[in-house]
Amino acid sequence: MNSKNPLIQALMDEVEQIDAHDPRLELKLQLIAEKIATEQQKVLESHPAALVNDDQLIDPADVFACEGCQ
């Protein structure tokens, strides 16, 4: 999944770099999800909803692509 928003894309790329065996995996994913939600809120606040494209907003669970995250 790709986003046209560079900050959101960087956060999604960060998810891909996390070691699946990292003992702090859940915490790291939670923090990234919060950052994505914050950035998406900024996008929504700065643009009328009708002007926000689907590729600007993402569901963090889709980025994580794991059963426990969805």
As a dihedral over the C-alpha atoms of residue 42, residue 53, residue 7, residue 32, rounded to 10 degrees, the angle is 80
Query: Is residue 23 one of the residues assigned to a domain?
Result: yes
> CA 19, CA 56: separation in Å to the nearest integer?
26
- Mind giving me the DSSP string for 16-70? HHS-TT-TTHHHHHHHHHHHHHHHHHHHHHHS-GGG--GGG---HHHHHT-GGG-
* Full residue range of the structural domain in which residue 48 is found: 6-69
pLDDT band at 4 (very low <50, low <70, confident <90, very high): confident
State the pLDDT confidence band at 27, using cuts at 50, 70 and 90. Answer: very high
Q: Is residue 28 part of a domain?
A: yes
Determine the average pLDDT of the residues in 2-31.
88
1 part of a folded domain:
no
Residues 28-47 pLDDT 10s: 999 998 998 888 888 777 76
- Report if residue 11 sits inside a domain: yes
Q: What is the pLDDT of residue 64?
A: 55
- Note whether residue 26 is domain-resident: yes
Domain count, the chain: 1
Whether pTM > 0.85 for this model: the answer is: no
Q: Dihedral, CA atoms, 58, 61, 39, 34, nearest 10 degrees?
A: 170
